[in-house]
Structure 1
Amino acid sequence: MRQEISVHGTVAEGFEAVREEFAAFVASEQSDYEGQLCAYVHGRRVVDLWAGEGADADSLYGVFSSTKGAAHLVVALLVQDGTLELDRKVTYYWPEFAAEGKGALTLRDLLAHRAGLIGTDTGFTLAELADDRAMAERLADQRPFWRPGTAFGCHALVLGALTGEVVRRATGRTLQEVYEERIRAPYGLDLHLGLPARSDHRYRGVRPMRPTPVQRAALDALPSGPHTLTSIALNGHTADPTDLANLPNEPLIRAKGPASFGAVASARGLAGMYAAMISEVDGQAPLLKQDTVAEFGQPHSVGYDLVARAHRSYGLGFQATSDTWYPFLGAGTIGHSGASGSQSFADPHTGLTYAYTRRTCAHPLGPAPENARLAEVLHKATLAS
């Protein structure tokens, strides 16, 4: 007999439909489901739900590319400060990057996945994947896989290493250090780019994907050859191909928090970060000015993604969420999904910020399908509140 999964947590008045939708979804899942859903409106937490045996609001999950939202909030802050300039060449900060015809690339194009530098010819070891500086050193010498600036494709495992090296050259500090000092610590966010050993017991290891028939078909449709752009971007072309779903389960990845995919977080942490980005939270002014949010959320690369082999829309380090995933959201919605099925975003028009985490991988190269309905119900409740 199938064991019923209980939904825990709270919703604010007017958001009861979100709990009902989450409970209906959870009831349809297998008995080992674990997940969290959290949302803020104008800096006030309105949804805080979780489900699954052993899970609670403080459980931490691998969020894969949702990491890029935290990483590129750092970059946005540094641009806002004047420390970085979007239209300067990357080589202004990082001269060695000029090798193999990359010298004309700007920071703006790098952030928009236009560098063509999705990996290396021979791939990375696990130790290199955990170390952004080691990846950046290898990538500086790598010839791009398309002419920089002429096309785009998801730099899935390396974007944070590339932009992180620019941050390090400009500030003398790692992206992870700046994130900890300016974002995580001041707000007490459970969103870690480098999980402290004292908190490692709270991590809930990623379980293997058990795809539905529709998801299985999507997986089977991905290019399977060892030297496709997709395989190179996911480090699948090496003698020991990377098991993408297992990356957060590696202690070295959790400890170092690589800025493309290595964050460990709760939904509270993800949603709280986006709330702090666009809204006043606990008396603290928004981290970003409206103009900065608009600049980073504005679509820069729109169309056919050479790596994902699908339509995608990217801002600067973030996905343009309303174009790529959820057209009911306001233009300029800024966020990032993760390969585990996680999703997170901020809609500056409504003040809504959203985060969803789950333990079992649900979908290849993007958010789990349930996010669409959960986000839509939440958006409707926000408009009505």
Structure 2
Amino acid sequence: MTQEIHGTVADGFEEAREEFAAFVAGERPDYEGQLCAYVHGRKVVDLWAGADAGSLYGVFSSTKGAAHLVVALLVQDGTLELDREVTYWWPEFGAEGKDGLTLRDLLAHRAGLVGVDDGFTREELADDRLMAERLADQKPFWRPGTAFGYHALVIGALTGEVVRRATGRTLQEIYEDRVRAPYGLDFWLGLPESEEPRFRSVQPMLPTPPQQAALDARPDGPHTLAAIAFNTQVPDPGAPEDYANSRAVRAKGPASAGGVASARGLAGMYAAMISEVDGRPPLLKPDTLAEFGQIHSTGYDLVSRVHKSFGLGFQATADTWYPFLGAGTVGHSGAGGSQAFADPRCGLAYGYTRRRLAFPGGAAPENNALVKAVHRAAVRG
């Protein structure tokens, strides 16, 4: 039996409901997912199937959007400076030839510090400070600043340690005080025990035989850069869903991939970033938003082995995923299939979550049609 579609869309956004319903109709009967969008601070799409609108899901790397909104706010405040060396705040980071790396290059995935040789324990993966201590001593895997590669599990620990050294507070604490709590967002970096009943455990990917063959054929040997970046070189790396399903991860909210959110929370955060919401001015000024959305790394990603583009902390979503979006669109996808971004040129903020991991990882393929439908309506005004 197909899941029933719940929720509302504003006039002009009916195509988004049609696309969501068409996708859900073709999915497994146990599908759970949510879609939400704002335009110029007004909620225009709020749909879900399975569970309910308040269900919370592990959003993996979509967490990086929240983490680097905090960094952008601190740059905007003048607390952080993009072209200062990381060692200005964190002297120990300079070991093994990393002393010249700037915060700008760190945010652009150019540090060459995608993991540690012998991998992280599960306890370390849940704790940004433990990871940062290990990373400070690690020799980078390429000369810092000369190339880029996705720092999948560590970028939030690295930038978070800069935040902690500069402010005396964790990135998670600043996010809670300046972003999540003021807007009442269901996007958590550190899920309180009181909210645990709303969390829906992440379910594993169920690829078709051809998809499984494609997964098995990937050249992710035990000593590759990708293995180090995704911590699969350890004896028992566990499955991706184990990470989000760990209470330790959810409680501490590691800033690379430990966030928990609903689609409303994802879209609401990006709406607050670029638009007036509930009488509050946008969190980011136009110059800050343009700086963080400017492409800093583009081309062959040494870790992912595909073309990618990054701004500062954020994916360059228009180039990496949806070329019809406006220049300067900032966001981040997640391994569970989530997608979230802000397109400041048309005022669109988008969030999508799902419970079961999607093939092949990253933003789930259904986002292609969903984003296109929502964007078309937003541009029409």
TM-score by length of 2: 0.98
Give SS of 2:356's match.
Answer: coil
Q: Does 1:267 align with 2:263?
A: yes
Q: Distance in 2 between matches of 1:69 and 1:185?
A: 16
Residue matched to 1:285: 281
Picking from 61, 65, 68, the partner of 2:64 is: 68
Question: What residue number does 1:189 align with?
Answer: 185
Structure 2 contact 63–258 (Cα < 8 Å) conserved: yes
Amino acid at match of 1:273: M
Is the counterpart of residue 247 in structure 1 residue 235 in structure 2? no
* Partner Cα distance (1:211, 1:169) in 2: 43
Give the RMSD, CA atoms, in angstroms. 1.0
Between the aligned partners of 1:182 and 1:93, the Cα distance in structure 2 is 22
Amino acid at match of 1:95: P
Residue 6 of structure 1 is matched in structure 2 by 4
**Match of residue 49 from structure 1:** 47
2:168 maps to amino acid: G
Correspondence 1:176 to 2:155? no
Q: Secondary structure in 2 aligned to 1:236?
A: coil
1:22 is matched with which residue? 20
Q: Please list the CA deviations of residues 148-178 of structure 1 after superposition, one character each: whole Å capped at 9, or x if unmatched.
A: 1111111000000000000000000000000
After TM superposition, give the deviation of residue 383 of structure 1 in Å.
1.4
Give the CA deviation at 1:207: 0.3
| Cα gap change, 1:39 to 1:215, in 2 (>3 Å) | farther
Residue of structure 2 aligned with 1:38, choices 36, 39, 42: 36
Is the contact made by 1:17 and 1:377 (CA closer than 8 Å) also made in structure 2?
A: yes
Aligned to 1:85: 81
Question: Within 1, Cα distance between the matches of 2:38 and 2:112?
Answer: 36
- SS for the counterpart of 1:336 is strand
User: Which of the residues 128, 134, 137 maps onto 1:138?
Assistant: 134
Aligned residues: percent identity?
Answer: 74
Residue 90 of structure 2 corresponds to 94
**CA offset at residue 88 of structure 1?**
0.3
Output the CA distance in 2 between the equivalents of 1:125 and 1:244: 14
Distance 1:28 1:164 in 2: 41
- C-alpha deviation, 1:63, in angstroms: 0.2
Query: Residues 122-172 of structure 1: CA distance to partner in whole angstroms, max 9, x if unpaired?
Result: 111111111100000000000111111111111000000000000000000
- Cα deviation 1:302-344 (Å, max 9, x = unaligned): 0011111100000000000000000000010000000011000
Retained in 1: the 8 A contact 2:2–2:28?
no
Q: How many residues align?
A: 381
Is 2:361 aligned against 1:343?
A: no
Residue of structure 2 in register with 1:333 after alignment: 329
Q: Which of 345, 361, 368 does residue 372 from structure 1 map onto?
A: 368
> Given that residues 342 and 356 in structure 1 are in contact (C-alpha distance below 8 angstroms), is that contact kept between their aligned partners in structure 2?
yes
CA distance in 2, matches of 1:140, 1:271: 34
Structure 1 contact 194–255 (Cα < 8 Å) conserved: yes
Confirm or deny: 8 A CA contact 1:10 1:48 kept in the other structure: yes
Question: How far 1:219 moved relative to its partner?
Answer: 2.3
Q: Deviation of residue 5 (structure 1)? A: 1.1
Residue from 199, 203, 223 that aligns with 2:199: 203
Please give the alpha-carbon distance, in whole angstroms, between the structure 1 residues aligned to 2:315 and 2:210.
24
Work out whether residues 308 and 365 of structure 1, in 8 Å CA contact, stay in contact via their aligned partners in 2.
no
Shift of 1:366: 1.6
Q: 1:190-224: CA deviations, max 9, x gaps? A: 00000000000100000010124564354234322
3-state secondary structure, aligned to 1:17: helix
Give 1:195's aligned amino acid: L
CA gap 1:288/1:343 in 2 versus in 1, 3 angstroms: same
* TM-score relative to the length of structure 1: 0.97
> 2:333 is paired with a residue of what secondary structure?
coil
Q: Is the 8 A contact 1:223 1:231 kept in 2?
A: no
Aligned partner letter, 1:17: E
Letter in 2 for 1:229: L
SS in structure 2 at match of 1:259: coil
Question: Structure 1 CA distance, aligned partners of 2:213 and 2:367?
Answer: 19
| Cα distance, 1:82–1:115 mapped onto 2, change above 3 Å | same
For 2:295, the equivalent position in structure 1 comes to: 299
Q: Are 1:115 and 2:111 matched, yes or no?
A: yes
Structure 1: gaps (5+ residues): none
SS of the equivalent of 2:181 reads: helix
Q: In structure 2, what residue type is equivalent to 1:80? A: Q
User: Corresponding residue for 1:353?
Assistant: 349
